[in-house]
Amino acid sequence: MSYQNKLIGVLFLCLLPFLILFSYCHPSGDDFSYAVLGTNQGLLPALIDEYNLWNGRFFSNVFVLKNPLVFRDSWLWIYRISLFGIFVFTILSVFNFFHYFLQKIINRRLILIITLFFMLLNLFQMPILSEGTYWYTGVVTYQLANCFTLFYFIGLHRFSSMQQGWKKTLCFFFLCVSIILLAGFNEVEMLLLVAFHLLILFIQWKNKLPNQSWFVGLFITSLIGFSLVYFAPGNKIREAYFTDESHRFTYSMFQTSLQMIRFTSHWIISGVLILLSIIYLSFNQFVDYVYKLMLVRFFINRWIALFTLFGVLFLAIFPAYWSTGIMGQHRTVNMAYFYFIFLWFINITLWREAILKIKFLSNFRFKKFALILSIMIVGFTNNSLSVWKDLLSQDVGIFNYQLNSRYLLLDSLDKKNTKVQVLPVLTKKPKSIFIYDISTDPNYFPNTCYKSYWNLTAFIISK
């Protein structure tokens, strides 16, 4: 067996515990409430209500309103298969992205190795694994947007290489539609699209590139997508809950800066990004190719790359502080970290002259040690360690059994009984799997979700 095949096998083994965990995940909170809306209303009326009464997301809401829970038979397995399918789709989209841009310099096997390392990097340092991988509503709102964005980048590159004609016009139309749909996933995607197309216009203006009018059209389309989401009536209603805490510019900038420092330092201190960067820089011919791709084909210099690296984090964090006064959850930072990995290695490529002055980078033994240590870290620390603990401690098994028993109890309840129904409290809550559990308060959101989904007259509490 070749060295590359052995490495692929080891990387798949590192992914294995994450894959096993899909068979234990359960729906929670918004999964139930959106399923009720998607079942009781037609899709279009439900989409309009969400847009007008809660948020401006119009494309991701298609997936959440028609989530696996609308299938009353075998909904739990459909839920798990859907999450697993999106995970596989993420791998395929990352592989396809790397293959499109790197196939001229490396073979498919090496592209698969890079893809697996990318997935492990993303999983083991994802700010909140449970919401970014094992919770349907969070996954389709943020992670699925990342996947489709990679395909958009490929389409945009093909468009830029086309000659004038009807094919280019048709491609432009599809790109515009894609921008609108992508903006409808979430607020961060909306902002990233505007910033990305503005950056393209800056690069074109600075380098006096042709066909600027086409990209002005794409930028205008991104502004339309921004407007559809930002000025949605539902967003104004949601922001009204945080009137006293929102729209404080100085406070929002300060807190965003602190969070940017916090997350960046955490991702770098783990050491894997540095170790893998050392290995990456040792492949001179490959690095030269990427360097020319960035500098000559895309006109991205080191300062633009550095600005973009931190700009992605800013756009993922600042809107939360601006609109609510708190970050609240880390799902948006999950999204930023996905792009941070790409941008980190682009920066390493463009800043390599300063880095390559370090002499030990050319030492073969050190590079071999760096590879082994990198695999150990991504396979057994941070989120990977949490997954291993959950599996080996059997917490996920107990958690799974208790929730399955709860569903059976809910199925057996008399729909017309008005007495308060008491459900046993969960004794195990794995760290790696998302759960927004019920409480002793019958009006608590998860409690009302159970009540609505099982169409009960009685209130639900836990004890």
How would you write the pLDDT of the chain (463 residues) with one tens digit per residue? 688 899 999 999 999 999 999 999 999 989 999 999 988 888 899 999 889 888 889 999 999 999 999 988 789 999 999 999 999 999 999 999 999 999 999 999 999 999 999 999 999 999 999 999 999 999 999 999 999 999 999 999 999 988 888 899 999 999 999 999 999 999 999 999 999 999 999 999 999 888 789 999 999 999 999 999 989 888 777 776 666 677 788 999 999 999 999 999 999 988 899 999 988 988 888 999 999 999 988 999 999 999 999 999 999 999 888 888 888 778 999 999 999 999 999 999 999 876 655 554 556 677 788 899 999 999 999 999 999 999 999 899 999 999 999 999 999 998 888 889 999 999 999 999 999 999 999 999 999 999 999 999 999 998 8
Helix/strand/coil percent split, the chain, to 5: 75, 0, 25
The token pair at 459 is 């209130």
Max distance between CA atoms of the chain, in angstroms, equals: 76
- In Å, how far are 187, 330, 331, 394 from 142, measured between CA atoms? 10, 11, 7, 29
Beta bridge partners of 462: 423
Of 8, 123, 133, 120, residue with least CA distance to 83: 133
The token pair at 230 is 């930002």
Of 182, 137, 169, residue with least CA distance to 329: 137
Amino acid at 377: I
Please tell me the distance from the alpha carbon of residue 153 to that of residue 305, in angstroms, as a whole number: 16
pTM score, whole prediction: 0.94
Residue 440 falls in which region: left (phi positive, over 0), alpha (psi -120 to 50) or beta: alpha
DSSP secondary structure string, 128-147? THHHHHS-HHHIIIIIHHHH
Burial class of residue 146, CB neighbours in 10 A (0-12, 13-18, 19+): buried
Instruction: Give the count of beta carbons closer than 10 Å to the beta carbon of residue 215.
Output: 20
Which residue has 């609505």 as its token pair? 452
Please give the pLDDT value at position 358: 55
Please give the pLDDT value at position 32: 94
100 three-class SS: helix
With a CB cutoff of 8 Å and minimum separation 6, the contacts of 374 are 117, 272, 275, 276, 279
Please tell me the distance from the alpha carbon of residue 60 to that of residue 65, in angstroms, as a whole number: 9
The secondary element (H helix, E strand) that includes residue 423 is strand 421-423
Please give the pLDDT value at position 354: 66
Torsional sign, CA 387, 18, 87, 263? positive
For 361, list phi and psi in degrees, rounded to 5.
Answer: -65, -25
Please give the pLDDT value at position 324: 80
Please tell me the distance from the alpha carbon of residue 381 to that of residue 385, in angstroms, as a whole number: 5
The secondary element (H helix, E strand) that includes residue 369 is helix 364-380
Instruction: Give the count of beta carbons closer than 10 Å to the beta carbon of residue 415.
Output: 9
Residue 99 falls in which region: left (phi positive, over 0), alpha (psi -120 to 50) or beta: alpha
Please give the pLDDT value at position 3: 83
Please tell me the distance from the alpha carbon of residue 173 to that of residue 196, in angstroms, as a whole number: 18
Q: Do the beta carbons of residue 32 and residue 401 sit within 8 Å?
A: no
- In Å, how far are 66, 77, 362, 437, 450 from 33, measured between CA atoms? 11, 18, 56, 13, 8
With a CB cutoff of 8 Å and minimum separation 6, the contacts of 53 are 233, 234, 237
Beta bridge partners of 165: none
Of 143, 39, 27, 22, residue with least CA distance to 93: 143
Buried b (16+ CB within 10 A) or exposed e, 351-379: ebeeeeeeeebeeeeebeebbeebbebbb
Please tell me the distance from the alpha carbon of residue 186 to that of residue 58, in angstroms, as a whole number: 9
Amino acid at 236: K
- In Å, how far are 10, 124, 164, 255, 428 from 120, measured between CA atoms? 12, 6, 41, 29, 26
First to last CA, the chain: 56
Of 462, 414, 412, 416, residue with least CA distance to 442: 462
Q: Do the beta carbons of residue 374 and residue 272 sit within 8 Å?
A: yes
Please give the pLDDT value at position 281: 87
